[in-house]
Structure formats: structure tokens, C-alpha cells
């Protein structure tokens, strides 16, 4: 393994790509520490200490702690992710977007342009909401506002909107530069870095608890074993595919006859990726977040208690929501009818299955069967950490969503590096088999 990493830096092109990627990540991390003008960081920090289990705490996880510091990168890359998902949803509803998705390179170029416009619009709307939200925050102990008096009002709103929208556009540009000139998927790597940026603080906090005697070393070993086992399980499921055999008949072109080929259509088990968990997490955090705005309401207090992470009702509805969104999003990104039509046009067929409608029905049946275990897996990975937190009385740094993103992005980046190594006759990271990445978040 060590020799493989050494070989990576022997290839000039790969070395430049890795260096460029690290430079972009370094710039991103610097921007994550530049505060928005007019913020009182002490008051903001006090408020977020009590807001770890609501929608804002979850959002802060994806932006590497930039949201709770109200930096210029507070919105992170999430507006771009949301715009991409919306454009994909439009492809199933509006014929114009569906046509763009089938136009190849030119269609993808137009979709990318529309996604950028959508990112700016969503970032503007979210920045307006954040500016109002920040002005409503007061210290739980002193009652001091999180915005300094001289900046309150329209002035703060204008400055905050300009700062956050510009920051989101710059992050989007960084991600595209990494994708085009670096290694790995830029957008996914930015989320990846935002998550693992909190790792050093979490490790130090655990060590301090062991030294202080508030956490037994045996409990720490159990936590470590659970995290390692969860990571290995996620890697196994990420690599799992359902391989459907495809045959193409012999072809006669002019005076030459070309032999038929036997290939496979790989269907990834976790085709929807982490999107169902993101959808379900956003949905499940809303009741607790709304309850936080009505501290004196007994009804809202009961609602927040029912939907607090670790509660049995929360875990049940959370798991069901993930299963639903897994089926929903898989049906959006994989269209059996289109696949069947493409196979029919190219002359390919599945052995024993008639081309056309029968092929589409067969693919839909296979997709339904593999989506069930993948949806249950995603629900288990997302719910299990909350159950273990209650059993061990600990707070896990890596929840299921975080581990899923980190593992997926790491596999995708390693797969690209391995491909570059094998193209130049170097051994890859795997002596047997191969790494299979994915197309990003």
C-alpha cells in the first residue's frame, strides 16, 4: 500500500492534479473561517450549543461548522446540491428538461448552466432567511443580540446576502475546478472535507473525557469497533451490484462480419446514494426546529420530544421516510423504459427476455427487488447511531449520513487514482478485484 502511494507521486500529471486539489481545499477551509460582517461570535456560539438536534445543527454538519460561525461560506455547497436535485426532478415532470437529459454533451452543458442559475436563486433566498434568522438570535444568558447594534436592519441584510451568495458561487466554482483540473468529484469532496474537518476536535474531546475519567477506555474501544464495523459494512454495500447479462448479435457491415458481444448492465445496490437520508433528515428535523421557536407551548414541547433524535417515534418515522425516499429517488434517476429502448436500438437484449416492453418490465422488477434491501440498509445506517447513543450514553461524531458520504467520496477518489495508476502499468490499491466509485452526491 505504501508503494502504491509512492507511485501516485511518480506520475507528473497525477501529482499536479492532487496538488491542485489540495490547493482548492485549502482555499475553501480558509473561507470557512472568515466571518460575515456584523456578527457577535460569542452569542452565536452560545445559541448553537443548545441547537445541535435541530435542522440548523444538521445543516452545520455539511458545511464543516461554517454555519454556526456565520462565515461567508455558511451556506456551503448545499444550494448547488438542492438545485441539482430540483433539475433532476424537473426531468420527470417537464418534457423540456427530459429532452435536455437525452441530448448528450450539449444537453448536459445546458443543464449545468441552468443548475448554476438555480444555485444563485436558491442561495439568494436562503441568504435572506439566514439574515433574518441571525438577527432573531439572542444570548440565552444575557439576551444580547447575535448582530452588533450598528449593523442591525437593512444594512445587515444587504451585507449578509451579498456575502453568502458570493461565497456559495465561489464554492461552486472551486468544486468545478476540482472536477475539471483536480482528482475526484469536486462538489462531493467539498462536502467530504466539511464533514471530516470536525474530526480532530471530536478526537481531542474523546481523549479528554478518557483522561478526566468521565469515559471508560472500554467504552471508547466499543465506539471505535462500531465505527470500524459500520465503515466496512458501508464499503461492502457500496461495492455491491446486480449484474444483468446483455448480448449483442452479430453484425454485417459491408463485407465484414462483426461477432456479437456478451456484456453486463451493472445496477448498483445503493443507486440513490445518500440523497434519501438527506431528504428524510431535513423532514424529520423540522418538528424539533419549529418547536424551538415556541418554547412556552406545551403542544410544541411534546412534539419536539417525540421527534427528538433517539426517541422511538423519531427512529420509526425516520426509517420509514428513508425507505420511501429511496424508492422515490431511485425511480427518478433510473428509467427502465429508456434503458430498454436504448438496448433495442443498439440491437442488444437480455437473454430469455423479449426486447422492448418485456425488457422494461424485467428491469423494473429487478430494480424493485434490489431497492428494498438498499432502503432497509440506508434506514439502518441512519437510525442505528441514535439507538447506540442511547445504549452507551455517548455522542457519536460520525452518524450514518456522515459515514456514508465519507466512504462514498473516498471510494470515488481512490477509483480515479487507481485508474490513472493502471493506465501507466502501476499496481492499483487493490491486488484483487477493483474499486467502483459513484457519480458524486
Q: What is the pTM of this model?
A: 0.76
Q: What is the pLDDT of residue 117?
A: 92
Best mean pLDDT range from 45-54, 372-381, 398-407: 372-381
Could you tell me which residue, 430 or 230, shows the higher pLDDT?
230
The span from the CA of 319 to the CA of 210, in Å, is 33
State how far the alpha carbon of 389 is from the alpha carbons of 287, 302, 397, in Å.
21, 21, 11
In the predicted model, what is the mean pLDDT of residues 219-225? 80
Q: Is the pLDDT of residue 5 over 90?
A: no
For residue 95, how many other CB atoms are within 10 A of its CB? Answer: 8
Strands 251-253 and 256-258, how do they pair? antiparallel
Q: What is the pLDDT of residue 170?
A: 93
Model confidence band, residue 395 (pLDDT cutoffs 50, 70, 90): low
Q: Is the pLDDT of residue 242 over 80?
A: yes
Q: What is the pLDDT of residue 398?
A: 55
Q: Is the pLDDT of residue 388 over 70?
A: no
Q: Is the pLDDT of residue 9 over 60?
A: yes
Candidate from 63-67, 369-373, 399-403, 436-440 with smallest mean pLDDT = 436-440
Task: Find out whether 72 and 123 touch, Cβ atoms under 8 Å.
Answer: no
Task: Find out whether 406 and 153 touch, Cβ atoms under 8 Å.
Answer: no
Share of the chain above pLDDT 70, in %: 78
Query: What burial class does residue 117 get, using C-beta atoms within 10 Å of its C-beta: 0-12 exposed, 13-18 middle, 19+ buried?
Result: exposed
For residue 285, how many other CB atoms are within 10 A of its CB? Answer: 21
Q: Is the pLDDT of residue 78 over 90?
A: no
Share of the chain above pLDDT 90, in %: 6
Q: Which tens digits make up the pLDDT trace of 68-77?
A: 778 888 888 8
Q: Is the pLDDT of residue 408 over 80?
A: no
Q: Which tens digits make up the pLDDT trace of 111-146?
A: 889 999 999 998 898 888 888 878 877 777 777 777
In the predicted model, what is the mean pLDDT of residues 43-51? 70
Q: What is the pLDDT of residue 133?
A: 78
CB < 8 Å & 24+ apart, contacts of 1-10: 1/429, 3/427, 4/421, 4/426, 4/427, 4/428, 4/429, 7/421, 7/426, 7/427, 8/417, 8/421, 10/426
Q: What is the pLDDT of residue 226?
A: 79
Cβ partners under 8 Å of residue 327, min gap 6: 371, 375
Task: Find out whether 424 and 11 touch, Cβ atoms under 8 Å.
Answer: yes
Q: What is the pLDDT of residue 162?
A: 92
Task: Find out whether 256 and 305 touch, Cβ atoms under 8 Å.
Answer: no
Domains of the chain with bracketed CATH: 11-196 (1.10.3370.10)
Candidate from 28-37, 99-108, 161-170 with smallest mean pLDDT = 99-108
Best mean pLDDT range from 81-85, 163-167, 237-241: 163-167
Distance of CA 139 to the CA centre of its chain: 32
The span from the CA of 242 to the CA of 269, in Å, is 7
Amino acid at each position: 500500500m505504501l508503494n502504491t502511494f509512492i507511485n501516485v507521486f511518480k506520475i507528473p500529471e497525477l501529482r499536479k492534479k492532487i496538488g491542485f486539489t489540495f490547493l482548492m481545499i485549502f482555499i475553501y477551509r480558509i473561507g470557512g473561517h472568515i466571518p460575515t460582517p456584523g456578527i457577535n461570535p460569542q452569542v452565536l456560539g452560545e445559541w448553537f450549543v443548545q441547537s445541535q438536534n435541530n435542522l440548523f445543527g444538521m445543516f452545520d454538519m455539511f458545511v464543516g461548522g461554517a454555519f454556526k460561525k456565520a462565515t461567508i461560506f455558511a451556506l456551503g455547497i448545499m444550494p448547488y446540491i438542492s438545485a441539482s436535485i430540483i433539475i433532476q426532478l424537473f426531468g420527470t415532470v417537464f418534457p423540456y428538461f427530459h429532452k435536455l437529459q437525452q441530448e448528450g454533451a450539449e444537453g448536459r452543458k445546458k443543464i449545468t448552466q441552468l443548475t448554476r442559475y438555480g444555485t444563485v436563486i436558491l442561495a439568494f433566498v436562503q441568504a435572506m432567511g439566514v439574515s433574518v434568522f441571525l438577527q432573531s438570535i439572542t444570548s440565552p444568558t444575557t439576551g444580547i443580540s447575535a448582530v452588533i447594534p450598528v449593523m442591525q436592519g437593512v444594512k445587515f441584510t444587504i451585507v449578509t446576502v451579498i456575502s453568502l451568495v458570493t461565497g456559495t458561487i465561489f464554492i461552486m466554482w472551486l468544486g468545478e475546478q476540482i472536477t475539471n483540473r483536480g482528482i475526484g468529484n469536486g462538489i462531493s469532496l467539498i462536502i467530504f472535507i466539511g464533514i471530516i474537518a470536525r474530526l480532530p476536535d471530536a478526537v481531542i474531546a474523546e481523549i479528554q473525557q478518557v483522561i478526566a475519567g468521565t469515559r471508560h477506555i472500554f467504552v471508547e474501544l466499543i465506539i471505535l469497533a462500531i465505527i470500524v464495523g459500520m465503515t466496512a459494512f458501508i464499503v461492502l454495500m457500496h461495492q455491491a451490484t446486480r449484474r444483468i447479462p446483455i448480448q449483442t448479435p452479430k453484425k454485417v457491415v459491408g463485407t465484414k462480419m462483426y461477432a456479437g458481444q456478451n456484456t453486463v448492465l451493472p445496477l448498483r445496490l445503493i443507486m440513490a446514494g445518500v440523497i434519501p437520508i438527506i431528504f428524510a433528515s431535513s423532514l424529520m428535523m423540522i418538528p424539533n426546529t419549529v418547536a424551538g421557536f415556541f418554547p412556552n407551548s406545551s403542544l410544541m414541547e411534546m412534539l419536539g420530544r417525540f421527534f427528538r433524535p433517539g426517541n422511538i417515534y423519531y427512529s420509526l418515522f425516520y426509517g420509514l421516510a428513508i425507505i420511501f425516499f429511496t424508492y422515490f429517488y431511485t425511480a427518478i434517476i433510473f428509467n427502465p423504459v429508456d434503458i430498454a429502448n436504448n438496448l433495442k436500438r443498439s440491437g442488444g437484449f437480455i437473454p430469455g427476455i423479449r426486447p422492448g416492453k418485456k425488457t422494461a418490465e424485467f428491469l423494473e422488477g429487478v430494480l424493485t427487488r434490489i431497492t428494498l434491501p438498499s432502503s432497509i440498509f440506508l434506514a439502518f445506517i441512519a437510525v442505528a447511531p441514535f439507538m447506540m447513543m442511547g445504549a452507551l450514553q455517548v455522542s457519536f461524531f460520525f452518524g450514518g449520513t456522515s459515514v456514508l458520504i465519507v466512504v462514498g467520496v473516498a471510494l470515488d477518489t481512490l477509483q480515479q487514482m487507481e485508474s490513472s495508476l493502471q493506465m501507466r502499468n502501476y499496481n492499483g490499491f487493490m491486488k484483487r478485484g477493483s474499486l467502483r466509485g459513484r457519480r458524486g452526491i
